[in-house]
Amino acid sequence: MKLGAFSISLAVNNLTDSLDFYKKLGFEEFKGSLSHHWVIVKNGDCVIGLFEKMFEENIMTFNPGWDNDAKPVDDFDDIRKLKEDVEKQGISLVSDNIEKEGPCSFMISDPDGNLILIDQHV
């Protein structure tokens, strides 16, 4: 399965404090904004999403159809195929926001309860 670009999505309590912290580690703002309560930061190929009070737990995120610069790639597995492949492997979905076309997502969890978001924007 080609899952796409990987990032970690962190549930943060104070976006300004978290952004300041990661900037001290060399991360730079990449997408999002403080006014929308989320910011994506990047340091080389490392991508971290900071989401203020949007969800309760940290989530691993894969973006089919994107590279690490959030640019479209030609060769990727569409999320609808990924969902089908995941289900064929006997993995249950935690959430399912799959549409017939366009951007959509689904979520699974690993055996330890770590959430994994598959989130396709193209």
**Cα 56 to Cα 59: distance, rounded to the nearest angstrom:** 9
Digit-coded pLDDT (tens) for 87-105: 999 999 999 988 787 889 9
Q: Place 115 in a pLDDT band, splitting at 50, 70 and 90.
A: very high
Position 12 scores a pLDDT of: 97
Task: Write the DSSP string, 24-85.
Answer: HTT-EEEEEEGGGTEEEEEETTEEEEEEETS-SS-EEEEETTB-TTS-B-SS---HHHHHHH
Q: Are strands 115-120 and 59-63 parallel, antiparallel or unpaired?
A: parallel
CA distances from 2 to 27, 34, 36, 98, 106 (A): 26, 31, 30, 17, 15
Residue 116 confidence (pLDDT) above 90: yes
Looking at residue 121, the DSSP 8-state letter turns out to be -
Instruction: Note the pTM of the prediction, 2 decimals.
Output: 0.87
Digit-coded pLDDT (tens) for 41-72: 999 999 999 999 998 899 999 999 999 888 99
For the chain, which domains are there?
A: 5-120 (3.10.180.10)
